Structure 1
Amino acid sequence: MRIAYARVSTDKQELYRQLDALERVGYDKLIQEKFTGTQKKRAGLNNLFNTVRSGDIVIIESISRLGRKTLDILSTVEELKEQGVEVISLKENLDTSTPTGQAMFQMMAVIAQLERDLTVQRVNEGLASAKARGVKLGRPIMDTQKVTDALRLYDSGNYSVKDIIRITGISQGSLYRKIKERESKQFLDKVGKSTKYS
């Protein structure tokens, strides 16, 4: 089955341009939503994952419709491929079922890893420079057990972010940061293994 997915970030934006492009190539089912791409957990994307079956093809007008951040996009494509689902992006002419599409996907993963490594390098250089000048920087060390408890509550799906913050005492920003760090590490480890054995 060919499943089309369209998304805009706000209610004020329209889907017409994406829908026109998707209709030109044809599809069997359409999933659309108006929700920011900065959040990976969204109803339309969840509906997409619940709908697809092995052998299906997901068609999008642009790869950016899957998310705003490179790692989120790569993670979504990788999750779909693990379910036996290929992805076609019209704007980038990307088809993960082809050798060229696979190469483009791997290249995006390499670039994402490079961006992450360069960011870490710049942060470390800045901290070393500040330390040499006697400047004390950085956030207070976070309680490891609090982080573990917060992530466990988040993974259970039974608590809202507000509840988790109240129960553990961890800040909302810290919670989201730890979730992102964990997702990035899991994805990059996964891509690294698939690249190593491909």
Structure 2
Amino acid sequence: MANYCYLRVSTVEQNLDRQLEAMKKFDIPEENYFVEKVSGKNMNRPELQKLLDTVQEGDTIHIHDFSRLSRSTHDLLKIVETLTERGVYLISNKENFDTSTPTGKLMLTMIAAINDFERANLLERQMEGIAIAQKAGKFKKKDIDMDKFHELKADVDKGLLSVQTAYEELGVCKRTWYNLVNAEKEKNND
């Protein structure tokens, strides 16, 4: 049962002094400090990944505050959920949050519920906006040149073109490209 510390600032110019000072009271060995100077928006952070690969059941990760672990509530919850499933505890100094306590578990449940609520509201507002735009004739699906699609698909099948180049030339996203490919397969099987 080891203690680890994760410290992060967004840029090389910023310093870690405030976070380092706050972590002193936990008496964590220096080799158990994982430090990086990158944005918290991105989940692909080498030191965070190393830390997540290192910790084992019963270990505890200390952070100064939630924003050091992630700027996104969704990503923060994913990290905490992963840690919880692995039996690893998280202590956030600023928020006085500890997943090893009943209060910490309750707070985590509440944060997750609020995140789900925010996401549902966002999707609802998005759908309302789309419906209004459709009524006003401003939200239409893009017409796809099917002749061009068939030409590009043939080139992809012959290995003359990558799928990415094909869907970009057609002016659609990857998902739309594969929806068209699958629709053609179904049409040809009938």
Indicate how the Cα distance of structure 1 residues 7 and 117 shifts in structure 2: closer, same or farther if over 3 A, else same: same
Partner deviation per Cα, 1:23-82 (whole Å, 9 max, x = no partner): 122213211111111110110101101210111000000011111100001101111111
| Number of the residue aligned with 2:8 | 7
* Aligned pairs, number: 149
Matched, 1:168 2:169: no
Indicate how the Cα distance of structure 1 residues 140 and 125 shifts in structure 2: closer, same or farther if over 3 A, else same: farther
TM-score, structure 1 as length reference: 0.70
Structure number with bigger Rg: 2
TM-score, structure 2 as length reference: 0.72
- Paired residues of 1:127 and 1:137 also in contact (CA < 8 A): no
Q: Look up the SS of the partner of 1:91 in the other structure.
A: coil
Indicate how the Cα distance of structure 1 residues 140 and 6 shifts in structure 2: closer, same or farther if over 3 A, else same: farther
Instruction: Name the CA distance, whole Å, in 2 between partners of 1:110 and 1:124.
Output: 21
| Number of the residue aligned with 2:61 | 58
Aligned match of 2:123 in 120, 125, 129?
A: 120
Deviation at 1:8, TM superposition (A): 0.6
Q: Which runs of 5+ in 1 are unaligned?
A: 142-165, 176-198
| Number of the residue aligned with 2:70 | 67
Q: Look up the SS of the partner of 2:115 in the other structure.
A: helix
| Number of the residue aligned with 1:16 | 17
Matched, 1:129 2:132: yes
Counting aligned pairs with the same residue, the percent is 40
Instruction: Name the CA distance, whole Å, in 2 between partners of 1:115 and 1:40.
Output: 21
Partner deviation per Cα, 1:95-154 (whole Å, 9 max, x = no partner): 00111000111111111111111110111111111111222257789xxxxxxxxxxxxx
Instruction: Name the CA distance, whole Å, in 2 between partners of 1:68 and 1:140.
Output: 38
Q: Look up the SS of the partner of 1:21 in the other structure.
A: helix
Indicate how the Cα distance of structure 1 residues 118 and 140 shifts in structure 2: closer, same or farther if over 3 A, else same: farther
